[in-house]
Amino acid sequence: MHDLSLLQQIYLTYLGHMYAFTFRTRWTRFWGISLSSWLQFGAFLILLAAWFFGSSWWLLTVLLIVVLWIRFSYRRAAKVGYYKFVEDKTAVFPTTNFIPLAPNERVKARATGLFALSDMETNVLLRPADYWKVPLGEHTVMVENGPEQFLYQFFNKATLEKVQAGWLIFGREPRRALSVTFCSKWGPTFTDFSQLYYINRGNNEPPCQRRTIVFTFAGDQEHTAVWHNISQDLNER
């Protein structure tokens, strides 16, 4: 991220810490209630107590700003999935010094984005995943969603829109990542429609839905190989 200004780097560092904090407190519970709810409720009680005991206007203003900022941070983080992807505009597309992936060769990764089964879908963040491409050209991503539970996404040359190298912003350090945008026809929306279509023949198929998923890898070799493997479909069109 050396191409970014100091101010941009400071801002992204703040975002990384904020996303990690809001995510962890959102999913950590105390007495059956998330820590994020305790934190927001506690900040509001402090503001209420300061007003009740006649604190100065400047203190009330500061406390109000803190309460609103905490609320805004949680809402914003949840809306964007608790991460930000930043494109690396200095990245050079790989053409040499890597081993191309064979058909059906699986690569271990961490996946972020919206993944689904035929009857459900959910956003995941840095979950263990496998990526591979079948001989007929379909790219498959399988994400762990619990013990013996998996979610999926699929894309191919016809549905792929773009691939970007960059950084995933979450936590203390940016993570080198690949962002893949494609048009998906996988998930409960299309399963429900197929049942409706079977009963009411003549309906048109629903439009595909744009999806963006992000990969991070343990090493540069995996990152480069997957980037090249997916980008081949764009270059061949």
CATH of the domain at 104: 2.30.29
Residue 91 lies inside a defined structural domain of this protein: yes
Q: What is the pLDDT of residue 94?
A: 74
Residue 145 lies inside a defined structural domain of this protein: yes
C-alpha–C-alpha distance, residues 165 and 85, integer Å: 9
Give residue for tokens 């997957």.
226
26 and 94 in a common domain? no
Task: Evaluate if residue 197 carries a pLDDT over 60.
Answer: no
Mean pLDDT lowest for which of 117-121, 138-142, 177-181?
A: 117-121
Q: Long-range contacts: 41-45, Cβ < 8 Å, 24+? A: 43/67, 43/70
102 and 71 in a common domain? no
121 and 176 in a common domain? yes
Q: What is the pLDDT of residue 234?
A: 83
Closest listed residue to residue 221, CA positions, set 130, 111, 133, 96? 96
Q: What is the pLDDT of residue 188?
A: 76
Per DSSP, helices labelled H in 125-219 are: 188-199
If one counts every other C-beta atom within 10 angstroms of the C-beta of residue 221, the result is 13
Task: Evaluate if residue 206 carries a pLDDT over 80.
Answer: no
Percent of the chain with pLDDT over 90: 65
For 129-145, the pLDDT digits (tens) are: 999 999 988 999 999 98
Q: What is the pLDDT of residue 191?
A: 65
Residue 1 lies inside a defined structural domain of this protein: no
Q: How confident is the model at residue 2 (pLDDT cuts 50, 70, 90)?
A: confident
Q: What is the mean pLDDT of the chain?
A: 88
Closest listed residue to residue 3, CA positions, set 83, 85, 95, 87? 87
Last residue in a domain, options 54, 82, 110:
82
Cβ contact 128:143 at 8 Å: yes
Give residue for tokens 């409960």.
188
pTM score, whole prediction: 0.86
Cβ contact 118:188 at 8 Å: yes
Give residue for tokens 């995933």.
168
Average pLDDT over residues 209-214: 94
134 and 228 in a common domain? yes
Last residue in a domain, options 67, 82, 97:
82
Eight-state DSSP code of residue 127? E
Q: From residue 131, how far is each of 95, 150, 154, 172, 223 by CA, in Å?
A: 20, 13, 10, 26, 11
Q: What is the pLDDT of residue 119?
A: 77
Percent of the chain with pLDDT over 70: 92
**Residue range(s) defining the domain that contains residue 180:** 85-235
